[in-house]
Chain A
Amino acid sequence: MTPANIIKHLEAGGSATGSLVAKTMEAVQSPLPPSFNGDASLFVLNLFVMTGGFFVCIMLIGRQFGKIWNDRFRDHPTNPICVYRTISLLGISVAGALFTGAEALYLWTYDPELPATTARAIMAKRWIDPIAVISLMVSASLIVVAEPGIESQLRRSPLPMDLWSRWPTLVRGGLVIFFSFTAALAAVCLR
């Protein structure tokens, strides 16, 4: 294929034009994804939670990976602190960001007038979700494998725990969630 042909092919929607999702969307004209059955509140809830969750998970990835990276000369990867950080990095933030990001991509891309694009977005979700689950599985195995080493360290006193004094660190995440809600609401009510 020449480049001109490839561009023409992509402009026509590529291989996603005749896909099953595209055919279904052309048959069922709906302003929301069909699985919501026309319930706009449920759609706003999903849009809000998936968008906000994606950004919060991205923040957590930056935080945990930054800590691992900054202490790379101090903590060996098998140190309990590093294992704990890896578990929370892979099991919560990476898996969560991949899952919610793929879902948010689909929900934001859904457009009854662009069936090929929507088909591509949902296919991307089908490919990204297994990767998220693999990340989750790695983290689960790490929890089990590193159990004795980590738990023996965590039992040692003193145990300085003051959760309430740390609440201002959640303000940025709260702001992100608030703006995600505003955006989701605007996407439906203002269009």
Chain B
Amino acid sequence: MPAVRIAVAATAATTLTLPIAAEPVIWHFFGVPFQAGPLVVGLCAVAITRCIVFLQTKGKKQLALDIFVSLLCALVTAVWIQDDGLTMRGAGALGIGVASVGIGIVSIAKGAFAGRLKGAWNGFISGTAEQHRQNGNDTIPIAAPPLDPEIPEDMQDQLRRIDEVTATPPAPPPPPPSLPLPGFANEYGD
């Protein structure tokens, strides 16, 4: 009698009580301990939010993009939860938040890291140039400006010095003093 068996199984299932975890379960991935409860809750929150808000796909490319962004959100959430040791509530709220930001994570990361990357690149370049100069590889001879060969040798030096002095741009003239317009004594114009 399958019906009876199903009924018995259903009764057994309802009377079965779930075990409450006595202490937090820890899973290890790549040798890093992850608290299982907050991890699963956070990932489920990401999945739910992505289902609700974003998984209204039209076309293969959009579907692939949605899947990849969802995976990225899940990864960010998992790493954040592990890093900060969040509780269940915090993990759920974080998962919902990260998933709602969605593809915006990429631009946030760009904003956070682009400045540092640029600074690091500039530092690398200037450091290389400095080392180059210290190695004595930067002695590029600057050609003397072509002068009139008629001018004698001792005067040429003097002329070059004058050129250097006059080559500096003159200071810009000070702006003309702003005079109050006649007939406007105060800000109300009377």
Mark A residues whose CB is within 8 Å of B. 31-32, 39-41, 44, 55, 58-59, 62, 108-109, 111, 172, 175-176, 179-180, 182-183, 185-191
Minimum C-beta distance from A168 to chain B (A): 13
A186 touches B51 (CB 8 A): no
Q: How many A-B residue pairs have CB under 8 A?
A: 75
Main secondary structure of the interface of B (DSSP, over half): helix
Convert B64-76 into 0s and 1s, putting 1 for each residue whose CB lies closer than 8 angstroms to a CB of A. Answer: 0000000000000
Neighbouring A residues of B24 by C-beta, 8 Å = 190-191
Interface size class of B (residues with CB under 8 A): 20 to 34
Tell me the nearest residue of chain B to A62, going by C-beta. B52
Given A31-B20, A40-B18, A40-B20, the answer on whether A55 and B52 have CB atoms closer than 8 Å is: yes
Convert B22-50 into 0s and 1s, putting 1 for each residue whose CB lies closer than 8 angstroms to a CB of A. Answer: 01110000000000110011001101100
Neighbouring B residues of A108 by C-beta, 8 Å = 88-89, 92
Q: Is the C-beta of B16 less than 8 angstroms from some C-beta in chain A?
A: yes
Question: Which residue of B18, B41, B44 contacts A41 across the interface (Cβ within 8 Å)?
Answer: B18
Tell me the nearest residue of chain B to A31, going by C-beta. B20
Mark B residues whose CB is within 8 Å of A. 14, 16-21, 23-25, 36-37, 40-41, 44-45, 47-48, 51-52, 55, 88-89, 92
B48 touches A180 (CB 8 A): yes
Show 28 residue pairs from A and B whose CB-CB distance is below 8 angstroms, ordered by the A residue: A31-B20, A40-B20, A41-B14, A41-B17, A44-B18, A58-B52, A109-B89, A172-B55, A176-B51, A176-B52, A180-B44, A180-B48, A182-B44, A183-B41, A183-B45, A183-B92, A185-B18, A186-B36, A186-B37, A187-B37, A188-B20, A189-B25, A190-B21, A190-B40, A191-B20, A191-B23, A191-B37, A191-B88
